[in-house]
Amino acid sequence: MSGHGTPIPMTSRTAGVLSGVAEVPGDKSISHRALILGAMAVGETTITGLLEGEDVLDTAKAMRAFGAEVTRDDDGTWHVHGVGVGGFAEPDQVIDCGNSGTGVRLIMGAMATCPISATFTGDASLNKRPMARVTDPLALFGARAVGRAGGRLPMTIVGAADPVPVNYTVPVPSAQVKSAVLLAGLNAPGQTVVIEKEATRDHTERMLAGFGATVTTEETNEGRVITLTGQPELTPQAIAVPRDPSSAAFPVCAALIVPGSDVLVPGIGLNPTRAGLFTTLREMGADLSYENEREEGGEPVADLRARFSPAMKGVTVPAHRAASMIDEYPILCAVAANAEGRTTMEGVRELRVKESDRIAAMADGLRACGVTVEDGDDWMEIVGMGPGNVPGGATCASHLDHRIAMSFLVLGMSTLAPVSVDDGAPIATSFPIFEPLMAALGAKIERIAM
């Protein structure tokens, strides 16, 4: 879906305690991968717990355009009849990935070693984001890309008719780039090797192994070396998508900063490549516990319990943790503003090329709410004001970024005056039930006319 239509301004104010059970939707990263790998298997993959947010629905639509049959039962079970590795058909329309960097980059990888062309576009946010980080390695397989200046969408990828395998060291910590190379490597003969210096989310590797591909990961002095044997026949799977830790972060952090709160967020994926926020919150002194730890569908899962934590202290979040919490810095900012002392976030340059420049978006909005923030090219520091002391009373720009919108709405649950966002519509990309879920816990978020 391109653009989000009419902006939906929203405001959030302090209410009573937040309490109850917050059943957040399925994991966005795993949902995209389930649809794409399902489309590359031979036969029928079933998916339960799929995130039905706009980003993932755009990927489902794209898989249909490449020839897979994708259907949904009334009970929310999805079926993907795959066309096999290398079996993608040439789409007869432009592929619109809406707001989703993950969707477009993974799909570009998956089609880049097929003898077809496809043209990709997105919304105003996605069309500003860099694609060369993906098209550079795809060129090594023999694919060609023609896009706008600076490697931006809209862009056409001409897939390699005779792909060669690739050995590629990912220059920035990015699971999207790693995954694009691995998905391209599926239809190249021989072994494709991806090296990442810092571990990023490993859902693609786990799911590839689940679908029957031969994929190994080795920790070496150079970093993690992932080796994939190309041209396997992928066996369809029954995938149960765990709930998204990046969405869980919002009710968890809200409970930590709203006096008297006690919230249970069940069934959250706690893959260590995703759990950095929860480590950081515990270091800050958050009353956050893991209950009922278990494994589901090859991913570690637990129920998270968060209670109001009035004694949280600022910490330094080290650069080496950035990849494991890259989507959670905006909501950490809301917590940091309510802690005592400074929270310093190091090595976060990648935040500048997300759905928005998240360092700038959070710094501007926090300052408007009365919080002191310092920032540089790849770092940011927030001077905590202590629990309940943030003035608020501002309207913050969400810049077509779901996580910026949700972070300021959560902040508004703790501030002296309400906090508004100019546009909450992008929330539907990843967390379409955010408003009713937070309302059921006791939050007061309203849509407003501006």
Residues making up the binding site: 28-29, 33, 101, 129, 174, 176, 327, 354, 358, 403
Tell the smallest beta-carbon distance from residue 61 to ligand S3P (Å). Answer: 18
Radius of gyration of the chain (CA): 21
Choices 171-179, 254-262, 293-301, 411-419 (CB under 6 A): range interacting with ligand S3P:
171-179
The answer to the question of residue 29 lying near ligand S3P (CB under 6 A) is: yes
* Cβ nearer to ligand S3P, comparing 70 with 175: 175
Tell the smallest beta-carbon distance from residue 298 to ligand S3P (Å). Answer: 16
Choices 162-170, 172-180, 191-199, 284-292 (CB under 6 A): range interacting with ligand S3P:
172-180
The answer to the question of residue 194 lying near ligand S3P (CB under 6 A) is: no
* Cβ nearer to ligand S3P, comparing 359 with 419: 359
Q: Please work out, in degrees rounded to the nearest 5, the angle formed at the alpha carbon of residue 168 by the alpha carbons of 165 and 170.
A: 145
Strand pairing category for 238-240 and 42-48: parallel
Size of the site for ligand S3P (CB under 6 A): 10
* Cβ nearer to ligand S3P, comparing 123 with 327: 327
Residues with catalytic roles: 327
* Cβ nearer to ligand S3P, comparing 284 with 323: 323
Tell the smallest beta-carbon distance from residue 179 to ligand S3P (Å). Answer: 6
- Tokens representing 205 are 């590797």
**Beta carbons of 276 and 329 less than 8 angstroms apart:** no
The answer to the question of residue 201 lying near ligand S3P (CB under 6 A) is: yes
The answer to the question of residue 174 lying near ligand S3P (CB under 6 A) is: yes
The answer to the question of residue 378 lying near ligand S3P (CB under 6 A) is: no
* Cβ nearer to ligand S3P, comparing 81 with 178: 178
Binds ligand S3P (CB under 6 A): choice among 11, 113, 125, 176? 176
Known binding-site residues for 3-phosphoshikimate equal 28-29, 33, 174, 176, 327, 354
The answer to the question of residue 125 lying near ligand S3P (CB under 6 A) is: no
- Give which of 432, 442, 325 is closest to 25, Cα–Cα: 432
Binds ligand S3P (CB under 6 A): choice among 50, 155, 175, 193? 175
Per CB under 6 A, contacts with ligand S3P among 281-340 are: 326-327
Tell the smallest beta-carbon distance from residue 350 to ligand S3P (Å). Answer: 6
Choices 159-167, 173-181, 266-274, 328-336 (CB under 6 A): range interacting with ligand S3P:
173-181
The answer to the question of residue 356 lying near ligand S3P (CB under 6 A) is: no
Tell the smallest beta-carbon distance from residue 29 to ligand S3P (Å). Answer: 3
The answer to the question of residue 35 lying near ligand S3P (CB under 6 A) is: no
The answer to the question of residue 375 lying near ligand S3P (CB under 6 A) is: no
Beta bridge partners of 48: 240
**Beta carbons of 448 and 398 less than 8 angstroms apart:** no
The answer to the question of residue 179 lying near ligand S3P (CB under 6 A) is: yes
* Cβ nearer to ligand S3P, comparing 338 with 407: 407
Alpha-carbon span 207 to 213, nearest angstrom: 9
Q: Which residues bind ligand S3P (CB under 6 A)?
A: 29, 102, 174-176, 179, 201, 326-327, 350
